[in-house]
Amino acid sequence: MISLIDYGMGNMHSIAKALEHVGGTVQLVKTAEELGNTSRIVLPGVGAFRDCAEALKESGLGEAIKEKCTEGVPFLGICLGMQVMLTSSREFGLYPGLNLIRGTVKSFPESHPERGYKIPHMGWNDILLSSEKDIHPVLKPLENQQVYYVHSYCCAPENPEHILGVCSYGEFPFASAIGKNNMIGVQFHPEKSQRAGMALLEAFLKWNP
């Protein structure tokens, strides 16, 4: 059973259908109690970091997610769901995240728009996987593939070991995938990334960290 966290800020229908398409059984979870004995957790999201973090806190889902991650339940954060995995965000202020991975969320350089690089970063782009260490099993299907991004902010983990994949926008590199132990996050949208995205979701369902 895949617990898809529904806190009112994600395209639940598209992600649920994508997970079901690759063989998953999905339940929408709106309360901490509903996590129960879940076997996997997916945290999607679009919108503002502050609103996401506050919704997770008020519902008790934030603490429940952290508890399940500590127990070793495989976790996937998507887009804003990846950003909120970090310690804090500087989006319109300074706000705390789940602190599953130490780091911060920051904006693209202020010079980007005047140089012709629109914000948000939107569309197809690369994900470059490390050539110096083993590729994460969930990301393995993405070798030499492009994926679909929509975001105005990006993740900066403190420990470089937690960066699993990178992308560059306007010669500015950012983490397109992060991970630690049984947790992984992706900045792009698998449900919009066609075959590559479906392959990633299928790999997540098979992943046994």
**DSSP class of 130:** P
Integer CA distances (angstroms), 6 to 29, 104, 170, in order? 6, 23, 33
Do the strands 163-169 and 146-151 form a parallel or antiparallel pair, or are they unpaired? unpaired
Cβ–Cβ < 8 Å for 98, 81: no
Give CA 29 to chain center in angstroms: 17
- Is 167 strand, coil or helix? strand
Active site residues: 79, 189, 191
- Is 38 strand, coil or helix? coil
Do the strands 101-107 and 95-96 form a parallel or antiparallel pair, or are they unpaired? unpaired
Residue 172 one-letter amino acid = F
- Is 173 strand, coil or helix? strand
Beta-bridge partner residues of 150: 122
Q: Which residue in the block uniquely carries the two structure tokens 């800020």?
A: 9
